[in-house]
Amino acid sequence: MKQYNILFLCTHNSARSVLGEVLASTHPSGKFFGYSAGSSPGTSVNPIAKEIAIELGFDESKLRSKSWDEFALPGAPKMDFIITVCDNAAGEVCPFWPGSPVTAHWGFPDPSQVQGSNLERKTAFNEVKNGLQRRLDILAAMPLEKLDSLSLKEVHTKA
């Protein structure tokens, strides 16, 4: 079975895009290999996103905030899908992605901006995690070899 590379983009690559990378890489279908990056990456992965990643069995040593420039370099993995998960990244001018990957925007509010108790903050992260999981489940059920950007945008409206 072919595995599809998905790059999740956000501005700081510390929460939403990291969750996308983790969920794609640990998806039960085995169809995806997730990556994440940001236009202005932060210095670390959000602790709650890290906790969720570890709970899902993701290799903690792979968790880091990365620049999207890494994925535009020669020798970088070829992406099949590029998905922005924050409105800021969706509006930015992205690097050229070799191979013309299918692109889409799956916007989610930034859970790291939620103020309140640890439970309230973790709930916000879980809402993003669950939303991304639903969209990945829908994507996994589609004929991936035939998808285009329009089809991938429909995943956003079905979830």
Query: What domains can be seen in the chain, in order of their start residue?
Result: 4-158 (3.40.50.2300)
Is pLDDT of 95 > 80? no
pLDDT bracket for residue 145 (50, 70, 90): confident
How far from the centroid of its chain's Cα atoms is residue 128's Cα? 11
Alpha-carbon distance 85 to 83, whole Å? 6
**Residues present in the chain in total:** 159
Write out the two tokens for 120.
């309230």
Write out the two tokens for 4.
């599809």
pLDDT bracket for residue 159 (50, 70, 90): low
Is pLDDT of 90 > 60? no
Helix or strand run (H / E) with residue 105: strand 102-105
Contact 14, 42 (CB under 8 A): yes
| DSSP-based three-state secondary structure for 34 | strand
Residues 48-62 have a mean pLDDT of 96
Strand order in the sheet with 81-84: 32-38, 4-10, 81-84, 102-105
